[in-house]
Amino acid sequence: MKKSTNLYLAMMAAGLLAGCASQPEGVPVTLNVSEKGAPVSPSMYGVFFEEINHAGDGGLYAELVQNRSFEEKEMPEGYCVEHGRLKPAPVKNHLSGRVNHEATFHWNNEAVRAWSLQPADEAIATMKLTKEKPKFDTAPNNLLVTIHRADQPVQLINEGYWGMNIEQGKMYALRTIIRKAPDYQGTITAKLLTAEGKVIGQTSISVKQAGTWVDELKVIEPTASDNSARLALEFDAPGQVWLDYVSLFPPTFNDRYNGMRQDVAQCLADLKPAFFRWPGGCVVEGISLPNRFDWKKTLGDPAARPGEYSTWGYRCSYGMGYHEVLQYCEDIGAKLMFVCNVGLGCQFRMGDASPESEIPAYLDDCMDAIEYAIGGLDTEWGALRAQNGHAEPFPLQYVEIGNENWGAEYDRRFDIFYKAIKEKYPQLTLIYDDMSGLREENRSIEKTDMIDPHWYVAPDFFYRNTTLFDTKQRGKWEVYVGEYACNQGVGGGNMNAALSEAAFISGMERNGDLVTMTSYAPLFENVNNREWATNLIWIDTDQVMGRTSYYVQKMYAENRPTYNISSSATTITPDSVEYSGGSIGLGTWETEADYKDIRVTENGKTTTLPDLMQATEVLTRLYDGTYGNRFTLEMKARKTGGAEGFLVFFGMSRDGKQGYRFNIGGWGNHTTALQQLYAQGDQVVSRNIPHTIEAGRWYDLRIELTPRVARLYVDGQLILENELQPVPQKFLASGYDEETGEVIVKFINSADEPQTIDFTLDGVSSVSPEGRAITLKADDLGDENSMDNPTRIVPVEEAFSGFGQTFSYTFPKYSFTILRIKAEK
């Protein structure tokens, strides 16, 4: 168990609260270097990659040509397009037993995505996709271009990923696989064009023999730069030409073949990640199993890779494959975490489960992936690794078994995978998906090395929960917080989000004996395709930019102590807070319910609200009128079908996006809790109470609200009482770096005023007055970096000469500061 002390008490002792007669210099805090706390693991800070927001294609992966293999229109098995949307094959959700017939997903309806003809006149030239005589059976589509007239050259143009960044002085590798008909007697020229159409580089493509695929490599050296350039293949005679593959690469990170974009890869490497989680994320499971990520199809010649429709609404080329990711991990000194599928489709989407008879095939697939990475040369997949140019094992260390799965069926399959993998590869660390929020009663596995809980929340959750791990059980497993971010109520991200994450990380670091690995998510977004609201690193054709949250991650990774040291205080909390007033609403989650006899009593007056029958939506009805924060709400409620219980809302904004709700019999009909709602999500703000709602019976529900306390009664029994707690604003963490002999102090100040701390360093023999202060600060909590001003908020390092065994330091408002103090023990 970890000790966490409220700085609010220290402020009381120091007379710093409003109304005190005196105002001393600062809050006294004592750090004792001789009192060791939890160690902080070298594996603490890593990264999680998933193909979302064009993070790979159009992001980290250096390929400039979009839809290079013309496979964009290939659908997963059993899928179809209806009304311009992709519709999965009907499959039964293994948890609910239902088939979601309404689910549809984004589909690109362009005839040939990212490609166009100039002039755009069908009397001059046409193009269409075919599967005639494919070069590779695994990637069967090719593009037939028919030039009817060649009075002027015809250009087939690829727009890239929202343009191509072409830089003078660099060499660009062009690969084409082309077949021409005997009637085409002209030449083919590859040209780099500016956005205005000016030629800034070109090379001829030789296709001498008709009727045969010609695979050719060329280099183009541009004469000028343009960040919105395009690639054109120019034809100057009538006839037919088939294109199987067109690829254009700039120089790559570490000059790797089929490698990573230099600036993006370096931005990621600058985080010094201890590990790299891949390939996901929801893509591991797929919308349903036919759509899951298939690592084996990412090996071999990039031109032969089929790609797959990504769970996130576009086709993943499979260009950035398993081998390339392993090589990148080796290049940056990171261990790989491979995430496997246990035969379950995404439970947030279709949720299908493979038949029992197919589980061994999924296990074999995982074993093959491990063998490819670390197997000997006498094994099938180890030999293939060597054949692909890497005889030595790659740095695979972790295997996560499934992704965001839960329930008895997942737990059963996890045990099968864990036992088999551990028996053959005891050196690997195996990880269980913990979607319960650390609630052990929802977990029925036999054994695991680590568990992986996820949090996507509003700032207040992270500010309130820096002590979340303090009382969690030790010894059964370690914790990998594999996905976390403040992404609710912060738009695309801002300083408030970053500071809340910094606060939460301080709690994870303080509990380093339990939490030994963490990774923010999602990692990347191409700014032209934001599928997920808040992401760590933004990418455009010619820029890569870290958000404020990126610099929080970087500062923690670069200033990781060997172990924690004791501190007399860790947080400062404001005095009080109240529930907000607002509207009342009712609804359900994957459930049908009736509500009747609904009454609100406020200021001695009782108002009757209309009954609500057959509620099936999360917020089925938001009632007219608003109420304060002192009233009683009563009703009768009956569950008529479905998976969970009742949702009762209060203090709601009129757009239905912000407020509070009692979730009664939620989370699979296991738990009741109070949630706070934000524009982009929700968070639990109360205890979780074990509670089940039966179908077919009427319940008497009563909610009593006072400014600071909300109480829920069911059938006259008090089920849950929650006193709204103020949100802490200031946080302190401290540790010692054995390698450098430095005390490391981290202070997060999310308040609108500076904070002075009077430090005393105990357990040291001497302290150097000279040290460093590294500060990330903003003028406002809503501030953020942008592509126009990417360094608006970045860490600033300054020398500080006032350290000693006692010293004071004033931390700016809206800031995250790290002090490094030379101190001998």
Q: How many CA atoms lie within 13 A of 817 on its CB side?
A: 26
pLDDT at 24: 42
Distance of CA 374 to the CA centre of its chain: 27
pLDDT at 489: 86
Write the pLDDT tens digit of every residue in 298-346: 999 999 999 999 999 999 999 999 999 999 999 999 999 999 999 999 9
Could you say which DSSP state residue 297 is in? G
**451, 521, 519, 508: which is closest to 479 by C-alpha?**
451
**Is residue 6 over pLDDT 80?**
no
Percent of the chain with pLDDT over 70: 96
Question: Within 375-439, where are the H helices?
Answer: 380-387, 408-424
Could you say which DSSP state residue 579 is in? P
pLDDT at 15: 41
Angle, helix 359-374 to helix 322-332, in steps of 10 degrees: 40
Helix (H) or strand (E) holding 675: strand 671-678
pLDDT at 223: 97
Q: What are 153's two structure tokens? A: 């050259």
**310, 176, 159: which is closest to 235 by C-alpha?**
176
In 679-765, beta strands by DSSP E: 681-684, 689-690, 698-705, 709-714, 717-723, 730-737, 742-749, 755-762
Helix, strand, or coil here: 768? Answer: strand
pLDDT at 725: 83
Structure pTM?
0.88
Could you say which DSSP state residue 163 is in? B
pLDDT at 5: 57
**421, 218, 265: which is closest to 339 by C-alpha?**
421
**647, 661, 639, 662: which is closest to 592 by C-alpha?**
639
> Cα separation of 588 and 645, whole Å?
7
- The number of helix segments (H) and strand segments (E) in the chain equals 9, 51
Distance of CA 748 to the CA centre of its chain: 23
- Amino acid sitting at position 263: D
pLDDT at 680: 66
- Amino acid sitting at position 84: G
Helix, strand, or coil here: 268? Answer: helix
Under the banding of pLDDT at 50, 70 and 90, the label for residue 4 is low
Q: What are 822's two structure tokens? A: 């030379």
b/e per residue 789-820 (b: at least 16 CB within 10 A): eeeebebeeeeeeebeeebebebbbbbbbbbb
Over residues 702-730, the mean pLDDT reads 95
Write the pLDDT tens digit of every residue in 196-224: 999 999 999 999 899 999 999 999 999 99
The answer to whether the beta carbons of residues 218 and 191 sit under 8 Å apart is: no
**Is residue 720 over pLDDT 60?**
yes
Helix (H) or strand (E) holding 509: helix 495-510
Total residue length of the chain:
825
pLDDT at 814: 97
The answer to whether the beta carbons of residues 524 and 536 sit under 8 Å apart is: yes
pLDDT at 684: 86
**Is residue 9 over pLDDT 60?**
no
Q: Which residues contact 689 (CB under 8 A, 6 or more apart)?
A: 671, 672, 673, 719, 720
Q: What are 686's two structure tokens? A: 């109360």
Q: Which residues contact 78 (CB under 8 A, 6 or more apart)?
A: 88, 89, 290
Helix, strand, or coil here: 654? Answer: coil
**Is residue 443 over pLDDT 90?**
no
Q: Tell me the average pLDDT of the chain.
A: 94
